[in-house]
Structures are given as C-alpha cells and as structure tokens.
C-alpha cells in the first residue's frame, strides 16, 4: 500500500517587483514603522552614486538612516559583530540589506542577532537550533538585491564564514525573512558580465539542486523548473547586454525562485562550493558553476528520468545527455572556467574540503550520499576536467 506524503512548506514575503520601484523605499520604511534603519551594504556599493541616492532619499523622508559597509565578499563573523556594534551604537531599529548575496546575508544576520544573548553559532541550521533564539529581539529587515543570483532577499537564512575554522555556516530563523523585498532590475543594470554570469549560474544551481533533491515538494519543483527556463532564455541576454532590462528583470525572478525552491534542499554542488569558497575565497556562484557538470554526472543514476523531463520542458531533447550538453554550452558562453585549476583553485586543501563537504548542511539534500571519498573524487575530477 502506498503512503500519503507529508512535508512542511513555507513561501516568501511581500515582493515589490519592477523597474524604478526603489523609489518606494522611504514610503515602505514609514509603513513598517522604521524610524532609524541601518543600511548594510559592501564597500564597493557604498561608494556608488545609486547607493548615495537611496541614502539621500531616506534622509529626505526624515529617517535617521546609518550606513554599515564593512562586509566581505564572503562575510564572516567579524563583519557581523562590527555591524552589530554600529546597529546598537546608532540605536537603529531596523535594517535595509542592500546589495548582493553577501550584503543581504550579513544584513539579515545582523538584524537577527540584534536581540540575542547567545553566540551566533548557536543558531546554525542544525535540527531545531533556531528555537534557541528570542524572536522578539530580531530587528525587521527590508531587502534590496542589486544582483540576480542568491535569492537571499526571500530567504530565512544567512551564510556566514566562521573565521576560526574557515568554514561556512548557515544561520537560520524564520524571523529572518525580510518584511518586504524590493526587486528593481534597474539596480542590476550596472553589473559587469563576469558578475552577471556568476550570480546567474548561482540561481541556476539553486533551481537545479532543489529540483533534484529527493524530498517531497511539488510546488518547489514547479518553481525550480520555470526558474531554469528563465535562466536559459535570459541569462545569455543579460550577460551580453547589461542594459537589457527585460532580461535583468527575468533573472531577478529566477534568483528569487531558486531561493524559494531550495527550501526543498540543495546538494553536492553547494556542499563542495561552500568549503572551497571559505578556504580559497572564491566567488560563490562561479564556484557552483564550475562544479555543476561534475555533480550532475555523479548524481546521474538517481536523477536520469527527472532530468529528461526537465530537458523536455526547456525545449531540449528529452534526455540527461541533452541537458548536460546545454549546461556545458552555457558555461562556455558565459566564460565559466571548466576546471578548478583554470579557476585558480589549487589542490593543496582538497583533503580538508573533502572532509568538510559531507558535514555541510546542504549535503543531505543530494540524491546520492556525499561521503568524504565521493567528495574527494568529485574534487579531483573537477580539477582535471573529467566530466
């Protein structure tokens, strides 16, 4: 007798989507009761005219906005602690997380930690650790992505590097979900092609791994499949013409869709990418892009028919091989390095990466068990280019 499936599902927050909608930020702050928001961003964005225009608009609306921009490309615990000090010293009552995945993750975790007394690592995404938190102490967040990749703007977690162990940790709490997200494709128009490629491949990795995860979540599957169609249609356009606002908008959708879908699970692409990013300080999305075909082949026995259905939806021949060929061609089109060696990652820390990968919280969602031996084999194949 078959059994009826059981699962827990959550869906994102209010999203204000469309070109020019950043102009609504002061009004949204007022509607949410923000009086003294702290805008959390990265050093590069802090110096850009568009960021200064946002700060000026907030101040013009009478808001006591502050700016914190000491956020690394792979944010660590020191960045969160420094942001917390600024938040508390300025008596800020809320956070505007403004930027790519790093700024969004850091901003959300700073807001989360605002009222906590336990160390941040006590809230790692393991079991029910999140229940240790005091939800009343979490500062509310508005998220404003300026890239189209991580989807952190619609997520309930932040990835922070623990400097002492050089490992990435996922800090999770349902209360970390932004109250409102503004997705304005005009803010992504200035992204250079290399960042467009890396963030876009991150969105693809989120959708692909969510779709392949074995748990039951048909709504996430549907979102993931359509997200991949948007990537297929619009990432090459956004890459070749940064001013193509239609392509930029659809890629913002794909990024949010990937993060919505991956509540179902991620997998070995991320389980390998997280330690490589922490130890080698690589761009997260581009690291995912390098690993993608190797992990696809590793998982083939478990996902062959599922990938064939996906290929048919994408307008490809309905087979695993056709989908893999499309991934390889997309990587070439976006100048993604084919090997870890070409990516500038040497093999000196592979033993440690292989040891860390099975312990990454994303490893459990892979359709094939991620063991230390399997991780090492994948690393060696990705280093040599053996798909």
Residue 244 pLDDT: 95
Q: How far apart are CA 201 and CA 330, in angstroms?
A: 9
Residue 3 pLDDT: 73
Residue 8 pLDDT: 73
How many other β-carbons are positioned within 10 Å of the β-carbon of residue 344?
9
pLDDT along the chain (387 residues), means of 10: 70 90 97 98 94 97 97 93 97 97 96 95 92 94 94 94 90 95 93 95 98 96 98 98 94 96 96 96 96 98 98 98 98 98 98 97 96 98 97
Q: What is the CATH number of domain 14-188?
A: 3.40.50.1970
Contacts of 66 (CB under 8 A, 6+ apart): 36, 37, 38, 39, 86, 90, 92
Residue 1 pLDDT: 52
What is the chain's alpha carbon radius of gyration, rounded to the nearest angstrom? 20
Distance spanning both ends of the chain, measured CA to CA: 40
The listed CATH number (1.20.1090.10, 3.20.10.10, 3.40.50.300, 3.10.129.10) that belongs to domain 193-384: 1.20.1090.10
How many other β-carbons are positioned within 10 Å of the β-carbon of residue 67?
18
Q: Do 172 and 156 form a contact (C-beta atoms < 8 A)?
A: yes
Residue 190 pLDDT: 83
Residue 2 pLDDT: 61
Q: Where are the alpha helices (DSSP H) in the chain?
A: 25-32, 43-46, 49-60, 77-89, 101-113, 193-212, 218-240, 245-261, 268-280, 284-298, 300-313, 320-333, 350-356, 372-384
Contacts 24+ apart (CB under 8 A), 87-93: 87/38, 87/111, 87/114, 87/139, 88/114, 90/36, 90/38, 90/64, 90/66, 91/36, 92/36, 92/37, 92/38, 92/64, 92/66, 92/139, 93/34, 93/35, 93/36, 93/37, 93/139
**Domain residues of the chain, as ranges?**
14-188, 193-384
């Amino acid at each position: 007798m078959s059994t009826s499936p059981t699962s827990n599902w959550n869906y994102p927050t209010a999203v204000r989507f469309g070109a020019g909608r950043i102009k609504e930020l002061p009004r949204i702050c007022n509607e949410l009761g923000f009086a003294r928001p702290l805008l959390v961003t990265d050093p590069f964005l802090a110096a850009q005219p568009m960021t200064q225009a946002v700060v000026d608009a907030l101040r013009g609306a009478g808001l006591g906005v502050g700016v914190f921009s000491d956020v690394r490309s792979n944010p660590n615990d020191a960045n969160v602690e420094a942001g917390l000090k600024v938040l508390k010293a300025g008596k800020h009552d809320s956070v505007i997380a403004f930027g790519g995945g790093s700024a969004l993750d850091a901003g959300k975790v700073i807001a989360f930690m605002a009222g906590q007394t336990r160390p941040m690592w006590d809230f790692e995404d393991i079991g029910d650790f999140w229940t240790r938190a005091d939800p009343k102490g979490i500062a509310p967040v508005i998220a404003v992505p300026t890239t189209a990749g991580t989807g952190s703007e619609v997520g309930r977690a932040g990835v922070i590097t623990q400097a002492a162990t050089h490992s990435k940790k996922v800090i999770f709490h349902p209360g970390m979900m932004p109250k409102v997200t503004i997705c304005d494709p005009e803010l992504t128009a200035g992204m250079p092609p290399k960042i467009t490629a890396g963030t876009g491949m991150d969105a693809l990795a989120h959708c692909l791994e969510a779709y392949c995860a074995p748990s039951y979540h048909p709504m996430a599957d549907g979102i993931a499949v359509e997200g991949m169609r948007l990537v297929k249609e619009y990432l090459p356009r956004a890459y070749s013409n940064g001013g193509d606002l239609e392509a930029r908008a659809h890629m913002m959708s794909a990024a949010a869709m990937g993060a919505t879908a991956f509540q179902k699970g991620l997998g070995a692409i991320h389980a390998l990418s997280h330690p490589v990013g922490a130890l080698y300080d690589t761009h997260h999305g581009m690291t995912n892009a390098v690993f993608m075909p190797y992990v696809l082949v590793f998982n083939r026995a478990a996902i062959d028919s599922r990938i064939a259905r996906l290929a048919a939806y994408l307008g490809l021949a309905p087979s695993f091989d056709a989908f893999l060929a499309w991934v390889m061609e997309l990587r070439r089109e976006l100048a993604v390095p084919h090997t870890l060696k070409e990516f500038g990652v040497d093999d000196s820390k592979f033993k440690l990466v292989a040891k860390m990968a099975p312990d990454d919280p994303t490893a459990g969602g892979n359709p094939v068990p991620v063991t230390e031996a399997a991780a090492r084999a994948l690393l060696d194949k990705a280093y040599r280019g053996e798909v």
